[in-house]
Amino acid sequence: MIPIVNTDNKNGKSSDKRKTRSVRWKEARLALAREKDKVDPVFGGTLGSADTAGDHLFDCAVKAGFGKRTKVHFVGDGASWIAEQVERVFSNQGNFLIDFFHLCDYLAAASKKCFPENPGSWLDQQKKRMKEGDVNEVLKSLLLHEEPESVQDKDAPVRCCLCYISNRPGQFKYKEALADNLPIGSGEIESAHRYVIQNRLKLPGAWWKENNAENMLALRILRENNEWDKYWESSKAA
């Protein structure tokens, strides 16, 4: 999330815009793509809509070698818009996988209610089941300890975990991914958020006008994609 400022001073009572500014947060969406056996990724990103982010994701994939016969493996957190964009942009050529460690956060919270005597043991068993493709066994284990509807979600980690898994069918194919030597964690994109976006756009005390933030993000991505010199040479030529 990037701090975006509105600095309109319509009443004219103060020339110090720091006293009249209002700050809101804007989500920066970052994507990366790379060939399976390559190290260097291609980046894309925007402060725009989910559809715009999906278009950037498609551009990344094309630059990384995506074609009509290419199968694409995606890993992300549980935000529904990510899976929706994968479906919209890549259709049956794309397979979306929930980040395994994000799932484990839900399982870890549920473990304290499912097996309070030894939550770590219960958690290890469910993680093993998920990696082996036994999603139904995990759901059965959770159902045995599901909280009643009268309990609020904040106090119902088992129910929340059940909903998280049940509402995302087909997004936990860890067994197939591991067999194909594909990642099941989103650490690569999580760390990229830090060095591509946050190290510049989230400096202590920094705030941005939205257009400036979008332009700065574009420059950061340009440099990470090793297109910095090419861009400025083409600008001079124009």
pLDDT digits (tens, 9 = 90+) for 82-135: 999 999 999 999 999 999 999 999 999 999 999 999 999 999 999 999 999 999
Residue type at 80?
S
Note the pLDDT of residue 3: 85
- Is-contact 32 60, C-beta < 8 A? yes
Strands 72-76, 94-98: pairing is parallel
Note the pLDDT of residue 214: 95
Note the pLDDT of residue 14: 54
- Is-contact 62 38, C-beta < 8 A? no
Note the pLDDT of residue 16: 60
Helix (H, G, I), strand (E, B) or coil at 72: strand
Note the pLDDT of residue 196: 95
d(CA 34, CA 41): 5
Could you read off the pLDDT of 162-207 as tens digits, one per residue?
999 999 999 999 999 999 999 999 999 999 999 999 999 999 888 8
10 Å CB burial of residue 14 (0-12, 13-18, 19+) is exposed
Please state the domain extents for the chain: 2-99+185-237, 101-169
Note the pLDDT of residue 35: 93
Torsion of CA 217, 212, 198, 81, to 10 degrees: -60
Residue 24 pairs with which residues in a beta bridge? 4
Phi and psi at 97, nearest 5°, equal -120, 130
In this predicted structure, the answer to whether residue 68 has a pLDDT above a threshold of 80 is yes
Could you read off the pLDDT of 7-49 as tens digits, one per residue?
655 555 556 666 667 888 899 999 999 999 898 999 999 999 9
Transcribe 110-135 into DSSP letters: HHHHH-TT-HHHHHHHHHHHHHTT-H
